[in-house]
Chains A and B, each alone.
Chain A
């Protein structure tokens, strides 16, 4: 099985910040097949389009997947109304995840807001060799800080309003760090700033993108993103070519 549709029971659901839900589902097949950085396409009752949600945690022993998602609109609102014991109709695992490489390297995981969850899978591989630099709007939007710490990562928090950690942007927190690989997911301005750092330092950098999506498997060509490979610019697709890309391949606009 590369990917498939399964009914997955919600084992646990918590609201971990205002409008942000932490959901664990039982799915032996997906837990076996999924890789950090891949995503799931979740059916929303009554909606035409599924919602792409990044995979936050994979537990092969407990046969579970974990998702942390934010209510952004009607679809995610309906998803948030699904409770423990309910089944979610999930198409997964989709896309290319993070290339973990040698986890004895020093890594920095840069996440912004709801871009933080997919990085937890990278943290699981790198443990104490990773520093997680996590940016949020304010203190009450901070999520998963303890989860990164529990995996052994050093954690640095930055907030836009200074109510927690560093008052400023995540890239401020990279200046005194030593690392040879960056994993990043978050809003476009943050990703651009992170890519500048990668370029200046000459380090490997993988970024995870999002785009409005329909099929989720590369058939409809809806979730286009401009890429360049071998000196040629073209529209690739977040669902099949990504969502994780080497930063050099992406034309950030």
Chain B
């Protein structure tokens, strides 16, 4: 059996599979299927300074090989997370990542401050949520915005800081560099691509928010490309996500430059997807006599054009 351990920003993960934020809640629903220690880590549902009610329904629309969501960061707020969810999560034998989103820079900083005093293992800065009116992605679509928010949060964040990048940008490599320059210990990408569906009978968008975030296998090639481009521009580890649903996808994303992976939408198709991906990854490593999963990171051999 190959060595599946990875280290991201100084944090040890038993394996490179992390549940992606927004698809896994705070973990409780999935422990019915398998112990959460099966996963290397859990990126919790995005939390905000105060409780958020979320967007009106419908919040979900299926698309070819994927889905749109516009949940709108419904969450009980950071204090509730620290008091009610974190203590339980910390007993599950997996790395706990707090995903934070704010309306203002001050919100982000206050949350980072609160979480610094908690037992959370890592903070994921969500500057890429397309489903809220204020904040979210507005911080994540310009290099200046990314560097500013990252360095501001960095001052308050005593935990390793991972910045989750939006794919809705012109040059992902430059955005990744901006996050690194701002003091990110790791970056994760991609968040969802903004999309829309319209009901041709009613002429209404399917989502009440009109637009939503596209995820699932449909975005996988975009994610691979962006991880590949970003990984070449930064020294910090890259956590790859976006449509990973099979072990082959996992290998591909690692080859593109990812040091760890997040699994999201695949959980909806099959809650056991992480278990199956881990099995397949293990077999692949053994069959190819690869001692450690870390050997795959960035091992793609691109054509020299």
Contacts and interface: CB of A to CB of B under 8 A. Distances in A.
A217 B32 contact: yes
A30 B53 CA distance: 34
A223 interface: yes
Contacts, number: 101
Contact of A5 (B54, B65, B265, B270): B270
B122 to A, nearest CB: 20
Contacts of B270: 5, 43, 89
A212 B272 CA distance: 22
A223 B32 contact: no
A222 B53 contact: no
Nearest to A91: B271
A8 B65 CA distance: 24
A225 B57 contact: yes
B88 interface: no
B69 A222 contact: yes
Contacts of A213: 60
Interface in B54-93: 54-63, 65-67, 69, 71, 74
Interface residues of B, number: 36
Given A214-B67, A221-B71, A235-B74, A48 B25 contact: no
Interface string A79-122: 00000000001010000000000000000000000000000000
Contact of B23 (A5, A47, A220): A220
A235 B57 CA distance: 9
B268 A214 contact: yes
Given A75-B62, A219-B29, A221-B71, A212 B265 contact: no
A133 B56 CA distance: 32
Nearest to B32: A2
Contact of A220 (B61, B69, B206, B269): B69
A224 B33 contact: no
Interface of B: 22-25, 29-30, 32-33, 45, 53-63, 65-67, 69, 71, 74, 206, 216-217, 265, 267-272
30 contacts: A5-B270, A43-B269, A43-B270, A47-B269, A48-B217, A48-B265, A49-B60, A49-B62, A50-B269, A89-B270, A91-B271, A212-B57, A212-B58, A212-B59, A215-B267, A215-B271, A216-B268, A218-B29, A219-B267, A220-B23, A220-B69, A220-B268, A222-B60, A222-B69, A222-B71, A224-B54, A224-B74, A226-B56, A235-B56, A240-B29
Given A212-B57, A221-B25, 14 more contacts: A3-B32, A43-B270, A48-B66, A48-B269, A211-B57, A212-B206, A215-B267, A220-B23, A220-B268, A221-B74, A224-B54, A224-B71, A225-B57, A235-B53
